[in-house]
Chain A
Amino acid sequence: DADVTQTPRNRITKTGKRIMLECSQTKGHDRMYWYRQDPGLGLRLIYYSFDVKDINKGEISDGYSVSRQAQAKFSLSLESAIPNQTALYFCATSGTGARRWEQYFGPGTRLTVL
């Protein structure tokens, strides 16, 4: 089984709808991240969490919110989806200590907002 899973894998929705993307991990990592990837822009950090009680905004948090329900679960919400949120979304995890920035990614969620 994959260490980092994301659901759904694909989603098509309409402008204005609320969407939740979920991420679960079995790696026992404390740190979790949400990124989006757009052609020509690379991966950009949306939110990150270094433990269950810690939530931090990333580079492009506007229009997004997150919830860290447990060490293993980190969900991303789009409160009112808009077409420019169409992208490939990745969840990632990392441990602590000297390897705290070595990230392990989920398979991604392809989101289309019409």
Chain B
Amino acid sequence: RKEVEQDPGPFNVPEGATVAFNCTYSNSASQSFFWYRQDCRKEPKLLMSVYSSGNEDGRFTAQLNRASQYISLLIRDSKLSDSATYLCVVTYSGGYQKVTFGIGTKLQVIP
């Protein structure tokens, strides 16, 4: 089983739609969780951290479910500019430091 798993998609959604992505992780001791956005052939950019209580930033909502070991990203009222690949990131800081990126989920918002 991969340490971090994402459905690569693509998810094709119409403008204005709500779309959700999940990301599962295998290490129950993982400590920090993030969503990054990556446009084609560009660098990843931090979208939001994911907190235990869930958090929202405008149209974006991130949630963490430790019991089932997954994080989610919800995008409401999708815009054309939301088209990108969304990367899930999980970190572990114990006796060693580890950061693991998922392969990303591609979102295409259609006019």
Point out residues on A near B: beta carbons under 8 Å: 33, 35, 40-45, 48, 50, 56, 88, 90, 99, 101-108
A6 to B104 CA separation, bound complex (whole angstroms): 23
B97 near A48 with CB under 8 A, answer yes
Within the complex, the shortest CB–CB distance from B44 to chain A, in Å, comes to 5
Measured as residues with beta carbon below 8 angstroms from the partner, the interface class of chain B is: 20 to 34
A105 to B87 CA separation, bound complex (whole angstroms): 13
A103 to B32 CA separation, bound complex (whole angstroms): 12
B44 near A90 with CB under 8 A, answer yes
A45 to B44 CA separation, bound complex (whole angstroms): 14
A101 to B46 CA separation, bound complex (whole angstroms): 10
When A42-B104, A43-B87 are in contact, do A105 and B44 touch as well, CB less than 8 Å? yes
From the candidates A40, A48, A101, A105, name the one contacting B45 in the complex (CB within 8 A).
A105
- Indicate if B19 sits at the interface (CB-CB under 8 A): no
B43 near A106 with CB under 8 A, answer yes
Chain B residue with the shortest CB-CB distance to A45: B99
